[in-house]
Chain A
Amino acid sequence: MLSAYTDFIRIRFLTMLAYRVNYYSGILIYMLNIGVYYFTWQAIYGDRGEIGGFTASQMTTYIAVSWMARAFYFNNLDREIANDIRDGSIAIQFIRPYNYLFVKMMQGFGEGLFRFTLFMIPGMLLALLLFPVRLPSDPAAWIGFLVMLFFSFLINSQLNILTGLMAFFVENNEGMMRMKRVIVDLFSGLVIPISLFPGWLSSIMQWLPFQAITYLPGSVFTGRTQGTGILEVFGIQLIWFFGLLIPIFFMWRAARKRLFVQGG
């Protein structure tokens, strides 16, 4: 059974390899994103030393690592699930001897593996050449970052699953998916680090799961969070990971009920 699940990882990895146009253009576009934010922040910093606890040099590293982390954790599970629901093929998934959501997660991981090895790592190397990015020297920061990066993927995929499953309850969740994308990019700290938001807004965001996707691992990588602080922020990720399993469980149950009662 387990080998069946790992096969989903393998197949998705191979599928991703086939999308070569996306792959070539993806790296360039991510570099451009990093470049634009790099220059924007340069202009904002002017000759100021620190904004929101970030030095200009930390900000550069933060931008690069956040975008490259996104290159890894990003996936379209929400869209895939919504499509399965809308065209009715989800019904077939229910009669297969596996858990649909787990399979989706595996596929997402296969994609992530592809993105990590062929997108994020070469992208990061390129970013090192192009921008003054400073890599951490502390091995704890590296280990902490990599572990947290994996949880970024898990939490982001959980949010995608939740958004995708909404297609069971509304006819067209295209708008929600678009909204989710924008909210994740903004509130995860990808576009603006959380500490730069006005006080009230950043304190709201500390109670939302989004910061666990980008901001927390990014803080570890830039060295703003160190020592036992790494365990603390990792703890926040863990809480969100387990916390998000609850709505997924209930939504999945409601979805099954809906499918069986109304025939989809």
Chain B
Amino acid sequence: MNAIEVEHLSKVFKVQKNRGGLKGALQDLFSRQYNEVAAVNDISFSIPAGEICGYIGENGAGKSTTIKMLTGILVPTSGRLNVGGYVPHEEREKFVRNIGVVFGQRSQLWWDIGVIESFGLLRKVYGVPENDYKKRLDELVQRLDLGELLSRPVRKLSLGQRMRCELVAALLHNPSIVFLDEPTIGLDIIVKTEIREFLKDMNRQHGTTILLTTHDLQDIEALCSRVIMLDEGRVIYDGGLDTLKTRWGQGTRVTFQFGTACPLARLRALTEGVDISWTADNDLHAEALVPGGLNVSDVLARVVGQTDIPITDIKITETTTDEIVRQIYRTGSAAADPGTGTESGRNSHA
């Protein structure tokens, strides 16, 4: 069963043009000009129940707009939507009982009163029965270690403490689908790890479907089996994280440290016929970039076997997701694949 289904979803905004200068501003006073901008442009995907899916893209790629449509805040310009069996914007009040939403940059707690009071109020708003609420709250408080924070007003909490409370607030009614818009923004590494662990556990225990947007790819690596990547309102990648790595990873970087000088030309000659690019800062140090389709051992075999090249150190580094994503953003599309490796290429060398 799919928790979220999106078909040909588009959202077009009218953006007001501001004419510059005093004259322009005076003109704007009487007549306005608008541009149409497609924030989300014909996207389709579906997310099965129980999946954690990462939704990534640069600022302005259309992530927040999608989340706002999925949570019923915005009405799509065109396309079909189904979230947890509802069309979000049509039956908003009924629909939102089944979802939880956290906007990382905005609080849903009352600023001046104890956190627990906010929770109590949300219980009423969502109509959660007293017993369920108690049980759920206990569980969450214990899991997120909120014990003595509960009576403190939100303004006295640190960002990390607040974010943990925000999560509780969004989950009190035990939603089956949770939307997290940059849940780890601005947090330190310890709190980030805690929150990731918590989300993973929740997904495992309750089968909660989670869609999260983030700029921190560590979140994605820790949580998501699947990523959807957006650029200028279009989906440019939708699939597993592993596939992303193997398809768009620039391969493996092998760094050599030599005992005596070894010129680049010599290294190039040794690897004649293999598609490897060498770079070096000096004669004692060289780096080989092995494309994803090749085996690292092939390279090593050719270099390591030479008696006149004493190697003092070898380091092998995998391309990180960060680098991959940066690369994809730079080229603007994951479809325009540099061609270094394809599914079949990888298999033949496996």
Interchain CB contact under 8 A, B25 and A20: no
The verdict on A23 contacting chain B, using a C-beta distance below 8 Å, is yes
Is B190 among interface residues, defined by CB-CB distance under 8 A? no
Q: Are A23 and B22 in contact (CB under 8 A)?
A: no
List B contacts of A20 (CB < 8 A): 28-29
Provide the residues of chain B in CB contact with A204, threshold 8 Å.
none
**In the bound complex, CA of A13 to CA of B22 (Å):** 9
Q: Please, how many residues of chain A have a CB less than 8 angstroms from a CB on the other chain?
A: 6
Residues of B near A18 (CB, < 8 A) are: 18, 25, 28
How far apart sit A17 and B25, CA to CA, in the bound complex (Å)? Answer: 6
A-side interface mostly: helix
User: B26 at the A/B interface (Cβ < 8 Å)?
Assistant: yes
Q: Considering the chains assembled together, what is the distance between the CA atoms of A20 and B30 in angstroms?
A: 8
CB distance from A9 to the nearest CB of B (A): 12
Give every chain A residue within 8 A of B22 (Cβ-Cβ).
13-14
A13 to B29, CA, bound (A): 13
Q: Could you tell me which residues of chain A, from 1 to 46, have a CB within 8 Å of some CB in chain B?
A: 13-14, 17-18, 20, 23
Contacts of B29 in A (CB 8 A): 17, 20, 23
- Report the minimal beta-carbon distance from A30 to chain B, rounded to whole angstroms: 18
Q: Which residues from B are CB-within-8-Å of A17?
A: 25-26, 28-29
Give the chain A neighbours of B25 by CB distance below 8 A.
14, 17-18
How many chain B residues sit at the interface, stated as a range, is under 10
> Chain B nearest CB: distance from A20 CB in Å?
5
Q: How far is the CA of A20 from the CA of B29 in the complex (A)?
A: 6
Q: Among residues 1 to 30 in chain B, which have CB atoms less than 8 Å away from a CB atom of chain A? A: 18, 22, 25-26, 28-29
Residue of B nearest to A17 (CB): B25
Which B residues are CB-close (under 8 A) to A23? 29
Inter-chain contacts of A13 with B (CB < 8 A): 22
Cα A107 to Cα B254 with chains together (Å): 60
* Bound-state Cα–Cα, A14 to B269, Å: 67
Tell me the bound Cα distance from A13 to B28 in angstroms.
14
A20 to B82, CA, bound (A): 40
User: Shortest distance in angstroms between A112's beta carbon and chain B's nearest beta carbon?
Assistant: 17
Residue in A13, A14, A23 whose Cβ sees the most chain B Cβ within 10 Å:
A14
Q: How far is the CB of A217 from chain B (nearest CB, A)?
A: 29
**B272-314 CB contacts (< 8 Å) to partner A:** none
**Cα distance, A14 to B25, chains bound together (Å):** 7
- Complex-state Cα separation, A38 to B29, whole angstroms: 31
Looking across the interface, which residue of chain A has its beta carbon closest to that of B21? A14
Residues of B within 8 A of A14 (CB): 22, 25
Give CA–CA (A14, B18) in the complex, Å. 11
A19 nearest in chain B by CB position: B29
Within 24-52 of B, Cβ neighbours of A (below 8 Å) are at 25-26, 28-29
CB distance from A104 to the nearest CB of B (A): 22
Q: Which residues of A contact B18 (CB under 8 A)?
A: 18
Compute how far the CA of A20 lies from the CA of B26 in the bound complex, rounded to whole angstroms.
10
Across the two chains, which residue of chain A brings its CB closest to B22? A14
CA distance A249 to B208 in the complex (A): 58
Give the CA-CA distance A18 to B27 in the complex, in Å: 10
A14 to B26, CA, bound (A): 9
CA distance A222 to B22 in the complex (A): 35
CA distance A83 to B18 in the complex (A): 27
Q: How far is the CA of A18 from the CA of B28 in the complex (A)?
A: 7
Q: Which residues of A contact B28 (CB under 8 A)?
A: 17-18, 20
Please name all residues of chain A whose beta carbon is closer than 8 Å to the beta carbon of B26 when the two chains form the complex: 17
Hey, which bits of chain B sit against chain A, CB under 8 A? Answer: 18, 22, 25-26, 28-29
B-binding residues in A (CB < 8 A): 13-14, 17-18, 20, 23
13 A-B pairs within 8 Å (CB atoms) are namely: A13-B22, A14-B22, A14-B25, A17-B25, A17-B26, A17-B28, A17-B29, A18-B18, A18-B25, A18-B28, A20-B28, A20-B29, A23-B29
| 9 other A-B residue contacts (CB within 8 Å) besides A18-B18, A23-B29 | A14-B25, A17-B25, A17-B26, A17-B28, A17-B29, A18-B25, A18-B28, A20-B28, A20-B29
5 tightest Cβ-Cβ pairs between the two chains A and B: A17-B25, A14-B25, A20-B29, A17-B29, A17-B26
